[in-house]
Structure 1
Amino acid sequence: MDEHLTARTPWHLWVIGVVSLLWHLGGANDYFQTQTGNIEYLAQAGEMMGVTAQTVVQYFESRSILFHAAWAIGIWGAVLGSVLLLLRTRFALYAFILSFIGTVVSFAMQYSDPMPGVEMTGFQLGMTMAIFVIELLLIFYARAMKNRGVLR
């Protein structure tokens, strides 16, 4: 599409893009802290789940490469999608779709083989549902912006 035919950037794209980026950076921090074995961070996370830091470390060390790859794709695809949305490129849509697939796979693997000693709480289930809903809404939003010519 020629630049002169590109639709103006609506104000809500900036709001959604920045909020999305901040939201996903929280998940990226969790991923980074877990992958680097930050024991203080993992102890806090374990305390919230009622397990020790060592239980958290052992759980993530025992996960397959597929789990870690899916988790990385879910997290970093969402961060990339947020940045691409702010850059107004149509590739944001594809990054969000890839992120959603990674998220579904990693959550499916996590829920099918949960961390020992951790019981599913309403909060955890609610957060999982919120993550899925947010990811789907971002896919629909990016698709709408692409179809309107806002994303090039």
Structure 2
Amino acid sequence: MDNEAVRRVHWSFWLISVVALLWNVGGAINYFMQTNLEFVATLPETHRAIIEGRPAWATGGFAIGVFGGAIGCLLLLFRKSTSFYVFVASLLGIIVTMIHTTDVASSKINFSAAEIFVMILLPIIVAAILIWYTKLAIRKSWIE
């Protein structure tokens, strides 16, 4: 990539990449915080139900989702097109863990519409947008 291509990257690329990295690092921090039983005990019943009953396959999906998202954002900031594939893996991990989360949300525990949006829909939406944005960046030759 030459200097001409480096100058052509729109400032929004950096803003979106950094905000996405912060979002995914927050997810990674959340992943580690959920391993602390004292922290989990302070959460609302709805959150505890998801965490305490999460099977290993859903925990694996959660890890792939959040760490894949963070790594994808770093690759995006380094302007590597492989970020696309990492974001796809991240979305698949999110979908796997959301199978369990949706099952818990449809149980007798009353989840609010806001909880369903933030805990189930928003991660999927963000991951899908990052895949789309990475494709856009590839098409505009912002990343190699």
Shared fold, TM over 0.5:
yes
* 1:35-114 map, 5 Å: 37-45=35-43, 48-49=44-45, 58-60=52-54, 63=55, 65-113=56-104
2:135 aligned with 1:143: yes
Q: Distance in 2 between matches of 1:56 and 1:130?
A: 16
CA RMSD after TM alignment: 2.4
Shift, 1:110, TM fit: 2.3
Deviations, residues 94-152 of structure 1 (Å, cap 9, x unaligned): 11111111101110122224597632211111112222211111111000101111111
Percent identical pairs in the alignment equals 24
What amino acid is aligned across from residue 131 of structure 1 in structure 2? P
Q: Distance in 1 between matches of 2:87 and 2:77?
A: 13
Q: Distance in 2 between matches of 1:93 and 1:50?
A: 33
- Can you give the 5+ residue segments of structure 1 that lack an aligned partner in the other structure? none
Which residue does the alignment assign to 1:134? 126
Please report the TM-score for the alignment, with normalisation by the length of structure 1.
0.80
- What SS does the corresponding residue of 1:90 show, helix, strand or coil? coil
Shift, 1:29, TM fit: 0.9
Q: Distance in 1 between matches of 2:12 and 2:126?
A: 15
- What SS does the corresponding residue of 2:42 show, helix, strand or coil? helix
Contact 1:42 1:56 in 2 (8 A): no
Q: Which runs of 4+ in 1 moved over 6 A?
A: none
2:14 aligned with 1:14: yes
